Amino acid sequence: MPDYRRNRIPGGTYFFTVNMFERSSSLLVTHIDALRAAVRTVRARRPFHIDAWVVLPDHMHAVWTLPADDADYSGRWKAIKIAFAKALPKTERLTAARAAKGERGIWQRRFWEHTIRDERDYAAHVDYVHINPVKHGLVAYVRDWPHSSFHRCVAQGIYAPDWAGQGVNDLPAGERGA
């Protein structure tokens, strides 16, 4: 299997984007409890710290920090994807290639990863994770999206409850976009 030149640093902090195979899917939020159970199961066997996470209908973004002696984020994502898929009924359409390989048609095969370089890079990626539901037009205020670590960050005093709280309708007309 190709390596795709992934950067692996034991104890590293990484930003991820993981997509559903069908980009019009809402499986992640429809089956949020199954996703949470999959993550809990994997973390119990192969610990990692969740710095930030947002689950959108068809994709998710996360920032993780791995244990000091471990760089295997790929194995963790594979285990999460498998556990989530096993919790769902087999109702998805399958391409001939996926059927031939015994795969499900739930996840895109790969994920995007970025190694966090420094504190500024970390802050930018954590902010990006949390602003994403607004960016995608799912809510007007970050605080209104339920499937986000934003709420934990507010409870810890990292963000104010109204962080990035300016909704699209609150912007001056020239800044609202199309």
Alpha-carbon distance of 14 to 73, in angstroms, equals 9
Architecture of domain 13-169: 2-Layer Sandwich (3.30)
DSSP 133: H
User: Is pLDDT of 50 > 90?
Assistant: yes
To the nearest 10 degrees (0 to 180), the angle between helices 32-45 and 73-86 is 140
Separation between Cα atoms, residue 101 and residue 88, nearest integer Å: 19
Q: How many CB atoms lie within 10 A of CB 92?
A: 16
Domain ranges (residues) in the chain: 13-169
Structure tokens at 46: 């192969």
The alpha helices in 91-171, defined as continuous H runs, are 96-100, 119-135, 150-155
* pLDDT(172) > 90: no
pLDDT digits (tens, 9 = 90+) for 92-140: 777 787 777 777 778 998 999 999 999 999 999 999 999 999 999 999 9
Q: What is the three-class DSSP state of 65?
A: strand
Closest by alpha carbon to 18, among 83, 127, 106, 150? 106
User: Are 45 and 36 a contacting pair, CB within 8 Å?
Assistant: no
* pTM across the whole model: 0.87
pLDDT confidence of residue 168:
44
pLDDT at residue 100, rounded to an integer: 77
Higher pLDDT: 90 or 124? It is: 124
**In the chain, alpha helices (H):** 27-30, 32-45, 73-86, 96-100, 119-135, 150-155
Predicted confidence band of residue 174 (pLDDT cuts 50, 70, 90): very low
